[in-house]
Amino acid sequence: MLEDALDHHLDVAIVHADTGESVTYGKLRERTQDLAIQFYIRGWEKGQSIAVILPNKVIFPLTVFAAAKVGLRCVLVNVSQKSRLWVNSLRPMKVDYIITTQEILHYVRDACQSLRSVKEILVLNRIDDERDKKEYRLSIEMRYDLLLGKPPGWGALPDWIIKDEEVMLQPFTAQNTRGTEIRQGQFTKSLMQIRALETDLNQSDVVAVSLPLYDTFNFIHSGTLPYLVGCKVVLTESLNPKRFFEVVQEHKVTYSHVPAAVIKELAAGKVDYDLSTLKTLLCTEPLEKEIYEALKKNYPQIKLKQGYGSIDLTPPLMLSPADKIKPGSVGVLLPDTEAKVINPATKKEVGVGEEGEIWVKGDQVFSQWWVPPPDPPRPIDLKEGKGKNKDKPKPEPKVPPPNPKGNEFDDEGFFKTGDIGKVDADGYWWITKK
């Protein structure tokens, strides 16, 4: 993706609306490569895991892209949660490394007190406090825009092959005490599927990203697809509708994936900002038909699309096609995706227009839950025995192995989303209860 962007390397790839930081496609490629090399020379090995604890900053996509080049798996952490909740997510993952910024470093410290698997913390800006350097177990500090003196051994990455089946992302939140695996091939497949329906997105578009990038749907759809197309991405860390309107006016935004609050604000009446450049909005939250009608009346140039993915566990599954939108529908299935509606009581598939639980299957959908590696055998303590049996170690308690399929997959491999919905005769889907 980044190599193909060289033909427009002087175009702006990302700009941070809150700080003014801007990166061209040429610099995006260069910094991603530099960060990947930094991982490699630090000894971060293919298959190891890194917790990405970052807000919506320019460094977020760079980090994930660089990790993918090296073959690391990224655990995307919800930075809006309290640090004690991070521990619930990260402890079973046995993460090897953490990537963060100085602004939230003290929260990371709180989490690390219970995470003994962490070998290294990479802070992507300067650490001025000597106490911080010691107390947070930091072994490296780096500015991603100016690698400090490019250390010895700096050079190209080894010419290895990152296979499709290798894990790239691991969405894992406090609400979901089990993680999922999105593999390199699944990530690529999802991008191609979305592109097949996002046919009106082109290189001249300006895409605003305000929703958090740790969300799987948003990272793939809005945090990666625009770079594949060659768009300009405008990042902001605020979910406030007023701030979004300011960003649209200032940067002449044409496309954005937004929360329902933004849509409802626009539907309630015209806002005091110039939104004439805005042509497409995507929302993955339920919206009433009246919202569509009010938005169309106030802003006839805006096309309102909807989409669906299962919380933050899966990439996009359904999306409104560019040529035909049905108000209230989350669109049609992405290419090579299957779904059926099941009666929760009878476990039988229901007919067209009938409500039931949505089960999905596709190459982009994770096929099993992530199972943590087993703990190493407990050291034998010969003092635990008594009398004649003092030299015999106590037997390890028998724990049944975890079931990676869980109860959320049927025999055909369909994932039971838990969401209630229906499909019409034209193949358009509605979500009636999350």
pLDDT-derived band at 146 (thresholds 50, 70, 90) equals very low
Q: Are 44 and 98 in contact (CB under 8 A)?
A: no
Q: State the average pLDDT over residues 17-25.
A: 92
The yes-or-no verdict on residue 141 having pLDDT over 70 is no
pLDDT-derived band at 278 (thresholds 50, 70, 90) equals very high
| Placement of tokens 């500015």 in the chain | 143
Distance CA 410, CA 406 (A): 10
Distance CA 409, CA 407 (A): 6
**Top-confidence residue, 98 or 138:** 98
| φ, ψ for residue 418, nearest 5 deg | 85, -10
- Sign for the CA dihedral angle at 254, 256, 260, 262 comes to negative
Q: Which two tokens stand for residue 269?
A: 């009446």
Q: What is the mean pLDDT of the chain?
A: 82
Distance CA 384, CA 346 (A): 53
Percent of the chain predicted with pLDDT > 70: 81
Count other Cβ atoms within 10 Å, centred on residue 176.
15
pLDDT, position 399: 45
pLDDT, position 342: 96
Q: List the beta bridge partners of residue 289.
A: none
The yes-or-no verdict on residue 244 having pLDDT over 90 is yes
Distance CA 37, CA 30 (A): 11
Percent of the chain predicted with pLDDT > 90: 44
Q: Which domains does the chain have, with CATH numbers?
A: 4-180 (3.40.50.12780), 187-365+409-433 (3.40.50.12780)
- 311-343: pLDDT as tens digits: 556 688 999 998 889 998 999 999 999 999 999
Q: Which of 99-103, 194-198, 252-256 has the lowest mean pLDDT?
A: 99-103
The yes-or-no verdict on residue 210 having pLDDT over 70 is yes
Q: State the average pLDDT over residues 115-136.
A: 64
Distance CA 295, CA 352 (A): 29
The angle that helices 260-268 and 289-298 make with each other, rounded to 10 degrees, is: 60
Count other Cβ atoms within 10 Å, centred on residue 319.
24
pLDDT, position 149: 44
Q: How many angstroms separate the first and last alpha carbons of the chain?
A: 34
pLDDT, position 272: 93
The angle that helices 105-112 and 83-90 make with each other, rounded to 10 degrees, is: 50
Distance CA 327, CA 288 (A): 8
pLDDT, position 297: 94
Q: Are 215 and 79 in contact (CB under 8 A)?
A: no
Task: Please list the helix, strand and coil fractions of the chain in percent, rounded to the nearest 5, in that order.
Answer: 30, 20, 50
Q: Which two tokens stand for residue 264?
A: 């409802």
pLDDT, position 178: 61
pTM of the model: 0.84
**Top-confidence residue, 374 or 26:** 26
| φ, ψ for residue 182, nearest 5 deg | -115, 115
- 291-301: pLDDT as tens digits: 999 999 999 99
